[in-house]
Amino acid sequence: MLAKIAEMPEADRVLAERIHALVKEHAPDLAPKTWYGMPAYARDGQVICFFQAAEKFKARYCTFGFNDGAALDDGNLWPTTFALVKLTKADEARIADLIKRAVS
């Protein structure tokens, strides 16, 4: 998975590396893997969260998302995928909170 991150264009790679660090810090029990060629993090083989590079999909932003195994339920409607253009300290804190909640 780290090799896939290393192959990304710089703008995507910087975000993917930061997401990787946040997942490893806040959910060290998740196993890094590739999922459809993109970085993902799984528990018991089930992908909990994932990163999608903008370049791969010719999109204007990267995304960080959660699958249904993530414990993010909030009523009848809640976001599961987030657009990433850059990461501030506040953004990183929000992502860290989501990661911790996802694995709780």
CATH at residue 38: 3.90.1150.200
Go through 19-48 and write b for each residue having 16 or more CB atoms within 10 A of its CB, e for each that does not: bbebbeebbeebeeeebeebbbbbbeeebb
pLDDT at 91: 98
Percent of the chain surpassing pLDDT 90:
100
CB atoms within 10 A of CB 101: 15
pLDDT at 59: 97
Domain that holds residue 70: 2-88
Query: Is 45 among the domain residues?
Result: yes
Query: Is 102 among the domain residues?
Result: no
Query: Is 98 among the domain residues?
Result: no
Domain count, the chain: 1
The model's confidence at residue 67, banded by pLDDT at 50, 70 and 90, is: very high
Q: What is the mean pLDDT of residues 77-102?
A: 97
